[in-house]
Copies of this chain bind each other. A is one copy, B any other.
Amino acid sequence: MTQQKIPVGILGATGVVGQRFIQMLESHPWFEVAWLAASDRSAGQQYGEAVRWRLKTPVPERVRQMPVSNASPDGAPRVIFAALDAGIARELEPQFAAAGCAVVSNSSAFRMHENVPLVVPEVNAEHVALIENQCWRKQSGGYIVTNPNCSAIGLVVALAPLHRKFGIDSIFVTTMQAISGAGYPGVAALDILGNVIPYIAKEEEKMEEETRKLLGRLNAGHVEPAVFSMTAHCNRVAVEDGHTESVSVKLQRKATAEEIIAAFNDFRSTPQQLKLPLAPEQPVMYDDAPDRPQPRFDLDRGNGMTVSVGRLRPCGVLDYKFTVLSHNTIRGAAGAALLNAELLKVQGYLS
């Protein structure tokens, strides 16, 4: 291990998001995988034996031979990426925070907790300050920081420039979500092949409440949720990676289509200013083609960190409608947490 890099651990290392963490960390300039934990079933095995690797690039050779530890803070490094089911996260993440770890979590367990920052660095980097409210922070220095649900993040990144420039009054969104969002084994092939499932448990609720917190304002050490009306319809479709969303919005101030497209394309924020390693040059890219963005073709923009938008046109109920596409396991999960960790490092929260 090179001395310069910060050793990090991964909780839930064998899952779909855990695998993405490993893949994305392999070439990361600041962080290095030093510790892997998974369920008791896997603990004690070599990672290469324990994992059912589902990515197109192979398991990094060094990681393949690393042991899988129990999911306990003993021996864990001080920076932990967590990719756990909510129920397990609710139990484990506080243990790691109490032990002094920076827990950079992709799980939903604490996203809506009033003292836990729910952060997308392009959107609300300042919310990181909530960390100081956490009891763990005060006692051991540890804390929990979270990123949103994979369906909320693409929406919020696309809405952020509109929210800043024009204000948001109402949001209507219908998602068509990829199967990888359900983890592995996740969705049964018999359920989704040639089918649409118009339901994902708790997804609509998460999208609505997380969007309000993310676009909310930090005031006197607390987040005031943004105020707008919003509704989400969440569907699962037979796509491997990439959540597509049909969105309508009403803005608080009038804007022309040209102004909106410019707002999308010109949007730059904290990660771009700080030149964070994973920050895409352009967080939102508007595609002029009449039939884009599409998961098959447009998912890898900005190495999976750019959110694609297209088809801006007037909406007969709200003001405008458009299509949003984001990579659900990169921008919407592992990449989201990594970008949060990069932000935390620059802000001095990892030392």
Contact = CB atoms under 8 A, between A and B. Distances in A.
A4 B230 CA distance: 58
Interface of A: 16, 54-56, 170-172, 174, 176, 179-180, 184-199, 208, 229-233, 235, 237-240, 244, 246, 248, 290-297, 299-300, 310-311, 315-318, 321, 323
Given A176-B196, A231-B316, A235-B246, 12 more contacts: A176-B235, A180-B190, A185-B185, A187-B188, A187-B189, A190-B240, A195-B294, A197-B291, A198-B246, A198-B293, A229-B316, A233-B248
A306 B323 CA distance: 30
Given A174-B233, A246-B174, A238 B197 contact: no
Nearest to A192: B189
B184 A185 contact: no
Nearest to A292: B198
B195 A296 contact: yes
17 contacts: A56-B296, A172-B248, A172-B317, A174-B233, A176-B196, A185-B191, A186-B188, A186-B189, A189-B189, A194-B194, A198-B293, A230-B317, A231-B318, A232-B316, A233-B323, A235-B246, A237-B238
B194 A291 contact: no
Nearest to A204: B313
Contacts of A54: 190-191, 297
A16 B192 CA distance: 16
A148 to B, nearest CB: 17
A206 B231 CA distance: 25
A190 B186 contact: yes
A316 B208 contact: yes
Instruction: Specify the main secondary structure of chain A where it touches its partner.
Output: mixed
A198 B233 contact: no
Contacts of A317: 170-172, 229-231, 318
Contacts of A185: 185, 188, 190-191
A299 B188 CA distance: 20
Contacts of A176: 176, 196, 235, 237
Contacts of A189: 179, 186-189, 191-193, 238
A179 B190 CA distance: 7
Contacts of A316: 208, 229-232
Contacts of A323: 198, 233
Nearest to A238: B238
Given A56-B300, A171-B317, A235-B246, A190 B184 contact: yes
A196 B238 CA distance: 9
A238 B237 CA distance: 8
Given A186-B189, A229-B316, A196 B237 contact: yes
